[in-house]
Structure 1
């Protein structure tokens, strides 16, 4: 299986070819300021900026803080960014891939398999002294046809079933999983039965992704065994995509499900149970 990650070196080479990949910058940070300002200060040459809130999610509501985008809206956004059928796409964020994974997963979800995430993100690109520009490209319109449903998605009921009969991984930081703090959503804690799998564990001290074998061992310790169905959630369905990306990098599975509404959806319903502490609950 081809890795869903691409190194700075390989990206740099591909950008010099006659048909370079479509390059998309999705830098974003929880609580702001907007990532567009980072992009305007400097980005990888040729990269188009897409905003997580405006371009890669529907409006917040009962479905959560970052519901999946309406397919027609996503198709419009992707075509404006130059995404073409059968043509490779490379996505990057600031560093650890946790935001880039959202667009990586969305493209896989709508049937575009030729997409990779830049290992180490913009931080790695810049640290290697590679070219950066403030010029904003005007890409030729793309022709991608969005066909949602190519990757599994579950709702709250499906997440509860995964936690009971499969393995539901919670991508949030340990203190949010335990319920020690909850800075955003209505209630603190986790889906009963979910196992904590913080997205920060996917990268090493140098900011690059851990080797496939290391990640495979990491997931084995969490209980991923190839026999039970697996799914992931986080606060709003964004960083959970990096768990799905990590599972694929590890060569474990490309069929894990995303609970798109995630904790922002689960915790909004007072009838749904909440667990706290280190154990799955």
Structure 2
């Protein structure tokens, strides 16, 4: 009897752990397409959305969240972001499911932005459009009729790092900067993308977080990848890339799948860092 009770408790805890993750499978989402409490959001640019998208999905391109002028990737204010989402019928009171073509970086960008704005129920479609098509689920070219909503932001500053915080991380053993760019770009071996890296940062190539089927790797695999880079659960982990897009994949993996407590994104990223003359870049 005791063994049976223990086994039942273990199953319950495993189920709760799975529920805590902000990934949703194709089969799970397909059952929610007509649920009025759900809204599905394509994070792709408008031209890609126009080619094909999930039935009833609205489009909020990751690029539409950026401030005009300045450096690439700089976000609009929280008020402006809330207006963008609201205009597309997205309310923080709904369960918001974001997806992209399968690489995960655009969906995770929207995921982090929505969490930063305080939306409590945000999920990412694991495998994106690649998995959706493989599952033979409904797609369309027809734009979705949008009924505007009100999005009320409640900014979560705990997951946001500014340049001053990144500058202060130098020499602090309790803080680690993790750059999510591809290895060749981070190391300077890619001649087309050789911006340099923030001193002291380590590299976790965002593509290594995914399987060949465009889904996220298992919890054990992800923990091994980040721990090998020194990004352990006891540290404050600040994620960087040039624009914050690829850093979002690291945030989802660390915060949602692994449950690490102190994870932030340096929103300005390498682009802001490089634009400030007093900052140094390693090559």
Which TM class, normalised by the smaller chain length? 0.7 to 0.9
Structure 1 residues 180 and 157: alpha-carbon distance in aligned structure 2, compared to 1, 3 A threshold:
farther
Quote the offset at 1:236 in angstroms: 1.2
Report the equivalent of 2:227: 220
Quote the offset at 1:163 in angstroms: 4.7
CA distance in 2, matches of 1:157, 1:101: 24
Query: Please, which runs of 5 or more residues in structure 2 have no aligned partner?
Result: 1-16
Q: Is the 8 A contact 2:178 2:231 kept in 1?
A: no
CA distance in 2, matches of 1:137, 1:233: 34
Report the equivalent of 2:38: 21
Q: In the TM superposition, what whole-angstrom CA distance separates every residue of 1:84-114 from its partner, at most 9, and x where no partner exists? A: 2321000001102111111111111111020
CA distance in 2, matches of 1:234, 1:190: 9
**Matched ranges for 1:53-202 at <5 A:** 53-54=63-64, 56-61=65-70, 64-165=71-172, 166-181=175-190, 183=192, 188-202=195-209
Quote the offset at 1:267 in angstroms: 1.6
Quote the offset at 1:248 in angstroms: 2.0
Report the equivalent of 2:252: 245
**What's the RMSD between the two structures over aligned residues?**
1.8
Query: Please, which runs of 5 or more residues in structure 1 have no aligned partner?
Result: 28-34, 277-281
Normalised to the residue count of structure 2, the TM-score between the two structures is: 0.87
Report the equivalent of 1:9: 27
Quote the offset at 1:216 in angstroms: 1.6
> Is the radius of gyration larger for structure 1 or structure 2?
2
Quote the offset at 1:160 in angstroms: 2.9
Structure 1 runs of 4+ with >4 Å offset? none
Q: Is the 8 A contact 1:104 1:115 kept in 2?
A: yes
Structure 1 residues 163 and 100: alpha-carbon distance in aligned structure 2, compared to 1, 3 A threshold:
farther
Q: Is the 8 A contact 1:160 1:191 kept in 2?
A: no
SS of the residue 1:267 aligns to: helix
CA distance in 2, matches of 1:182, 1:101: 27
CA distance in 1, matches of 2:170, 2:42: 34
SS of the residue 2:271 aligns to: helix
Structure 1 residues 214 and 151: alpha-carbon distance in aligned structure 2, compared to 1, 3 A threshold:
same
CA distance in 1, matches of 2:123, 2:191: 32
Choose which of 32, 55, 58 in structure 2 pairs with 1:45.
55
Quote the offset at 1:209 in angstroms: 0.8
Structure 1 residues 12 and 20: alpha-carbon distance in aligned structure 2, compared to 1, 3 A threshold:
farther
CA distance in 2, matches of 1:254, 1:242: 16
CA distance in 1, matches of 2:91, 2:186: 39
Q: In the TM superposition, what whole-angstrom CA distance separates every residue of 1:18-58 from its partner, at most 9, and x where no partner exists? A: x251111012xxxxxxx32221121100111112222x121
Q: Kindly indicate which of the two structures has a greater share of residues assigned to helix.
A: 2
CA distance in 2, matches of 1:270, 1:219: 31
Quote the offset at 1:169 in angstroms: 0.3
CA distance in 2, matches of 1:49, 1:144: 16
Structure 1 residues 203 and 44: alpha-carbon distance in aligned structure 2, compared to 1, 3 A threshold:
same
